[in-house]
Amino acid sequence: MTRYFCHEHPDTLVLETRVVNARPGAVILERSPFHPGGGGQLADRGVLRWSGGEVRVVGIEGTGEGFWHLLAEPVELAGAVETAVDADFRSMMAQLHTDTHILNALVFRDFAGALVTGAQLNADGTARMDFDLPDADNDRLRALEPEINDVIRQDLPVRYAYVTEADALAERGLVRNRSVAPPPAADGTIRVVEIVGLDRQACGGTHLASTRGSGPLRILKIDNKGRHNRRVKIGLAGPSGG
């Protein structure tokens, strides 16, 4: 994994750049503000504009060549373009993603270091997280909803750091899900997301600058998945979400 442009410049959603590789309906860009997805997060959506018009970016495909931006029409582009990330979609992903960290932190704290076994964010403003919780009382999990919203209202800042892989693995709870944690960058470091005062974990996704940026969160459903796993479905409520 390289450090994404959006990691360094999370507020830059519109960017002038160049096409460096193209096929009908797809381009690789010199620089891109799009998050490519991964770790349960969906890729950014948006548009690409050039002298001849505008086309929607409907997906990102990571390959050894780079990130192919998949276009809604089979146009073949070259030269200078402007890209614009869909701000509403990015905002929703960042809210949901930050809220999954809050949920994860509270579960980790209250349920003896329970680990995440999977996570998926959805385009409809909902997400699910699976936890390894063999004997958990689902009512205790449900009772986390007001506490999650309390953390949101406390407006805790979100910060980033890069640590070595060895340090990341040595810090208890930092890599809470090996399938979701980002691989080290080219320089061997891992990106750590800190919700100050609450939680630190390895993650390559997009997040809010502080927790108050999230709308209220609901715990929608808790399912038992096999003997060990609990699947917690959450969703944004109110004006910021679905």
* Residues lying near Zn ion in the complex (CB under 5 A): 97, 203, 205
The 3-state secondary structure of 151-202, one letter per residue: HHHCCCEEEEEEEEHHHHHHCCCCCCCCCCCCCCCCCCEEEEEEECCCEEEE
Q: Is 123 left (phi over 0), alpha (psi -120 to 50) or beta?
A: alpha
Report how far residue 44's alpha carbon sits from residue 59's, in angstroms, rounded to the nearest whole number: 7
* Residue closer to Zn ion, measured from CB, 38 or 205: 205
* Residue closer to Zn ion, measured from CB, 103 or 203: 203
Residue least distant from Zn ion (Cβ): 203
Instruction: List all residues 6 or more positions away from 28 whose beta carbon is below 8 Å from its beta carbon.
Output: 19, 20, 21, 22, 65, 66, 67, 68, 69
Q: C-beta of 28: minimal distance to Zn ion in Å?
A: 25
* Residue closer to Zn ion, measured from CB, 45 or 191: 191
Q: C-beta of 207: minimal distance to Zn ion in Å?
A: 6
User: What value does the CA radius of gyration of the chain take, rounded to a whole number of Å?
Assistant: 19
Q: C-beta of 7: minimal distance to Zn ion in Å?
A: 11
Q: C-beta of 130: minimal distance to Zn ion in Å?
A: 16
SS3 108: helix
Report how far residue 87's alpha carbon sits from residue 45's, in angstroms, rounded to the nearest whole number: 9
Q: C-beta of 102: minimal distance to Zn ion in Å?
A: 11
